[in-house]
Amino acid sequence: MRGSWKIRILIGVLIAGFGLVRYCSSMEENPYTGTTQAISMNPQEEIAIGLANAPQMIEAYGGMHPDQQLQNYIDLVGQKLVQNTVAIQTPYQYDFHLLADPETINAFALPGGQIFITYALYSKLQNEDQLAGVLGHEIGHVIGRHSSERVANSDLWQTVAQGAEVGASAGSVVSQIGMSTLLTNGRGDELESDDLGVRFMIKAGYNPNEMIGVMQILKAAAGPSRAPEFQSTHPDPDNRIEQIKESIRKYGGTVE
C-alpha cells in the first residue's frame, strides 16, 4: 500500500509538471499589445471558433436586431475603428452584430473578431463616440487574444488538478485556485481592453472621454446592489474610470 501511494504521488507530480512545461512553452509576445502571454490557439483557429459559435450566441440573445440600418451603422463604426488602428494589421475577420435583446445590457467578443452588442446597451448610449468606445473595447479583447489565453490557463489548471487527484485526491482545492486565477486574469483583460479602446478611439478620431460616459452607464445599469469588485470578473466601474483617465493622458489626450 505504501509503495502504491508513492507511485500515485510520482504520477501526480509528473502530470502536473507536464502541464506546467506545456504552459510555459506556449508563452509568446503579442505583437499588437506587447504583452507576454500563454496562447494555445493560432489566429486561424481563433477565427474558426468565433465563426462556429457566433450563431449560438446570436440565438441566445434573441437573434439579430431587425433594423438593417442600425446593423449597417454598427458595422460602419466598427470598421472605422478597424481601418484606422492596428486592428487592420491583424489576421482577424471583424464582424459587428447588433443583437435584438432589449433587456440584457451587454457587449462581448468571440475569438477571431466576432463582436456583439445588445440593443439594450446600444439604446442607452448617447452618441457615436460612446458606441466607438464599446466596440473599441471589444476589438481590444480580440487583439489581446484574451479568449485564447483563458483557454491556455484552463488547460493548465485542469492538468494540475488531474495530477492532484491522482496524487492526493485534492483536485477540488487546486481547481478553486485555478478559478480564482482565471477571474483575476479576467479583470486584467477588461482593463487592458479599456486601455486599447481608448487608444483606438483616439486613432479613429473619436473623443476618448466618452468611454468614461460608457462606464457611468454601466454603473447606473448595475445599480447600488452590484457585487464587490473582488467577487466579479469585471473591475468596478469607478476603478475603470480612473484607469481610462490614465490611458487618455498616456495616449496624448486631455481628460475633460
pLDDT classification of 241: cutoffs 50, 70, 90: very high
Residue 146 has a CB neighbour count (10 Å cut-off) of: 22
Phi-psi group of 112: left, alpha or beta (phi > 0 → left; psi -120 to 50 → alpha; rest → beta):
left
Q: Which long-range contacts (CB under 8 A, 24 or more apart) does 178-186 make?
A: 178/153, 178/154, 181/153, 181/157, 182/150, 182/153, 182/154, 182/157, 183/233, 185/149, 185/150, 185/153, 186/150, 186/233, 186/234
Which position has the grid cell 483606438? 200
How far apart, in whole angstroms, are the C-alpha atoms of residue 16 and residue 155?
A: 11
Angle subtended by helix axes 43-60 and 146-168, to nearest 10 = 90
> What confidence score (pLDDT) does residue 113 get?
95
> What confidence score (pLDDT) does residue 182 get?
31
All three cell numbers of 115, joined, read 463582436
pLDDT above 50 (res 105): yes
pLDDT above 60 (res 248): yes
pLDDT above 50 (res 202): yes
The answer to whether 74 and 97 have CB atoms below 8 angstroms apart is: yes
pLDDT tens for each residue of 150-163: 765 554 334 333 43
pLDDT above 60 (res 135): yes
All three cell numbers of 191, joined, read 482593463
The answer to whether 183 and 233 have CB atoms below 8 angstroms apart is: yes
In the chain, pLDDT over 70 holds for what percent of residues?
69
> What confidence score (pLDDT) does residue 33 get?
78
Phi-psi group of 106: left, alpha or beta (phi > 0 → left; psi -120 to 50 → alpha; rest → beta):
beta
In the chain, pLDDT over 90 holds for what percent of residues?
49
Calculate the alpha carbon distances from 246 to 134, 143, 240 in Å. 18, 21, 10
pLDDT above 70 (res 21): no
More confident residue, 134 or 10: 134
Average of per-residue pLDDT across 133-142: 95
More confident residue, 17 or 68: 68
Calculate the alpha carbon distances from 222 to 136, 195, 213 in Å. 21, 22, 14
> What confidence score (pLDDT) does residue 11 get?
45
pLDDT classification of 164: cutoffs 50, 70, 90: very low
What lies within 8 Å, CB to CB, of 194 at 6+ separation is: 137, 140, 211, 240, 243, 244, 247
Q: What does the mean pLDDT of the chain come to?
A: 78
pLDDT above 60 (res 20): no
> What confidence score (pLDDT) does residue 16 get?
41
The domain locations on the chain are 2-250
More confident residue, 169 or 104: 104
How far apart, in whole angstroms, are the C-alpha atoms of residue 123 and residue 175?
A: 39
pLDDT above 90 (res 233): no
> What confidence score (pLDDT) does residue 12 get?
41
Average of per-residue pLDDT across 229-255: 81
pLDDT above 90 (res 221): no
More confident residue, 235 or 64: 64
